[in-house]
A and B are shown apart, each in its own frame.
Chain A
Amino acid sequence: MTEALLDPLPGLILLPLAWGIAAFLLGPGRGAAPAIVTLSLQFLFCLQLTHQVLADGPATHPVGGWGAPLGIDLMADGLATAMLLLTQAVALPLAVYARAYFRPGAPEARHFWPLFGLLLAGLNGLFLSADLFNVYVTLELVGLAAVGLVAMGGGAGQIAAALRYLFATLLGSGAYLLGVALIYGSYGSVSITTLEPLVAAHAPTLVGLAGGLMLLGLMLKTALFPFHFWLPPAHGGAAAPVSALLSALVVKASFYLILRLWLGPLAPLSALHPLLPWLPALLGTAAIFWGSWKAIRALRLKMMIAYSTVAQLGYLFLIFPLLGALGGLQAGIMQAFAHGLAKAAMFAAAGVLIKATGQDTIAGLAGAAQKLPLTLFAFGLAGVTLMGLPPSAGFLAKWQLIEAALGQDCWLIALVALAGGLLAAVYVFRVLRQAFLLTAPESSLQPVPRSLEWAAFALASASVLLGLRGVELMQLLHVGWAG
């Protein structure tokens, strides 16, 4: 009986819902402690799930005991488990960070913790869901929570960014919902497992339309070039812990869905034409170059990091022509981990620097960087991962991507990956060089809590250390791989 209570699948959804709502009940600005404690528990659940999935294969949990297609199934295969692991691993340090970042009683942080809790519940629910309509609900949960977090600051710029983001995310999930409606109309079910054989057997035009709508909507939500217009103001304008959450996790959620659909129910459609997988890859390439270019030109630190997200998301889409072999998926997920951890670290570090100097320009960092070596080091390590230099998860991702590309004779992808790394170096070193400039000693630095610096450092170290041991993660992706 009690075994069921320790089942990680429902646990990973119930726990964040519980602490989110508890934080609301505790009152404005409160709820950090239960969040951090419960997040640690979630992390343990995730490790247990990883262990379980590695040992026994994919785990399922039929909610309500009905089973698909009548009920909704939760399902954790290797891919879902990996994403869950990334989510908890990023969220826990960020919770510690946010607790120190928001002053007690700060008006802009009144409802951060409830929003954070529900965001995580949405993310976990999304990764675990095996039901297309349920996915829609989790997608909205994630989207609205993210918009709320961006708007939280309350400034005109933030509200405008939040609105822009809201319209983009609603348009995206609207297209997705229409796709779900068409699929239900065609097959009478929205369960992913039920649909897979049905689509393979017969796919009318309407299903092709549905697939296109869903993928397009999700690409908009992932901010794939040229749908990236909403991302920089939202990620660049929000409070640092929020930017970190959004860049590291939220955009990955819709990417995960694209991958899940592409490899699952929509696989028969994506195989229709050999050039189809090149479309996302092409957009990804454009994203890498455009995002990097804008990052190189950015004046504000957080804008630079936000545009770097646009570029880094491009790598995720380079894998689509390579998904014929497991290596392509492994490269993509390694990149998702590398970027997730590193970008969270980078936004966290930027938050420290901005808090200390009171300004958000790259040129204004010169004095601060020398006074905050740990933060700068964290920024540097995160930068190493983004550039794909060893030893780091980003390097392994680049290695795997190039090798997978060579394995399938896709030279162009290998070249793009190499060029993207060099471009990343340009914008990362633009920031790092500030640390070495000769400057008059800055005396007007605000003191910052040490836990901020250490949280950023922990995330950055994780992104580097993963580069020394990626075996387990890669084995995890074997589980449930159909190809």
Chain B
Amino acid sequence: MKKIAIQLAALVFALVLGSAMLDLDPAPVDLRPAVAAHLEASGVAHPVTAVLLNYRGYDTLLEVAVLLLALFAILAVIPDSQTGRPTPAAPVLQTLARLAVPLMLVTATFLLWAGAFRPGGAFQAGSVLAAALVLLHLTGLLAGWPQPGARLRWGLAAGFLVFLAVAAALLLQGHLLQYPPAWAGLLILCIEFALTLSLGLLLAGLFLFLSRDTEGAP
């Protein structure tokens, strides 16, 4: 009964929402001209990247913090378990993985570099990096991670640290994350590079830290 009521309400809501969308005037504010006008000064050629790392770079800073936060929360929950290496996969798969990983690294580098002027960037590059690590793990070539040691912690935090340091240092310009146009490109590249590494580790970590957790019910 309750189920049906909820589903009915959802349906009604969808219809109301959809019909309200249909009679909508054009938006009074259009940010596209502003985005284009300042693209020169933003340090990157691709508008989405410009929004992501310059105009609304503050959002991105906090978003990386959210990702780190999820990792902290996961680390806080998982127990210290001892088992390490997963069962190795079939040799064919392992060979394929060994072949794929270098290619993925190249792809990640390309995506990072491409972000400045076409779709791509740190997040995409980082995900490919993470996928490579997960692939290695699934084929039994990389052990699941225990609670991180100092080196891994620095690796996980590096991207955020660089971002935070740049943001703080740019306060000297007068405002948080206010890139000087001349330096914007270089600084954003630095941030993206560090972010790619850390995001790769972070996203992989979301998988690999969990893989040690005991399976099944006690």
Contact = CB atoms under 8 A, between A and B. Distances in A.
A141 B176 CA distance: 19
Interface in B52-66: 54-59, 62-63, 65-66
B157 A148 contact: no
B90 interface: no
A199 B95 CA distance: 60
B171 A4 contact: yes
A14 B58 CA distance: 11
Contacts of B68: 21, 24, 114, 118
A482 interface: no
A69 B172 contact: no
B92 interface: no
Contacts of B35: 70
A21 B157 contact: yes
Contacts of A185: 21, 24, 27
A483 interface: no
A441 interface: no
A140 B66 contact: yes
A315 B12 CA distance: 33
B20 A125 contact: no
Contacts of B70: 144, 148
B77 interface: yes
A464 B147 CA distance: 44
A451 interface: no
Contact of A144 (B73, B171, B174): B73
A205 to B, nearest CB: 5
A185 B20 CA distance: 12
B117 interface: no
Contacts of B160: 21
Nearest to A14: B168
Given A134-B59, A148-B69, A148-B73, A206 B178 contact: no
A29 to B, nearest CB: 11
Contact of B63 (A5, A13, A137, A151): A137
B23 A204 contact: yes
Interface residues of B, number: 54
Contact of B164 (A18, A159, A204): A18
A393 B39 CA distance: 51
B79 A62 contact: no
A446 B150 CA distance: 35
Given A27-B150, A144-B69, A187 B164 contact: no
B178 A70 contact: no
Contact of A125 (B21, B62, B177): B62
A21 B174 CA distance: 24
A154 interface: yes
A167 interface: no
A198 B171 contact: no
B34 A133 contact: no
Given A18-B164, A21-B164, A110-B76, A145 B34 contact: no
Interface string A322-355: 0000000000000000000000000000000000
Given A5-B172, A148-B76, 18 more contacts: A4-B171, A7-B171, A13-B176, A14-B176, A18-B164, A64-B57, A65-B174, A70-B55, A110-B75, A111-B76, A114-B72, A133-B59, A138-B62, A144-B73, A186-B27, A188-B27, A188-B31, A209-B17
The 3 A-B pairs at the shortest CB distance, nearest first, are namely A148-B73, A188-B27, A188-B29
29 contacts: A1-B172, A17-B65, A18-B168, A25-B153, A25-B157, A63-B57, A63-B175, A63-B178, A64-B56, A64-B57, A64-B178, A65-B173, A70-B31, A71-B56, A111-B72, A112-B76, A118-B68, A118-B72, A134-B58, A134-B62, A141-B65, A145-B69, A154-B77, A184-B27, A188-B31, A189-B29, A198-B28, A198-B29, A209-B16
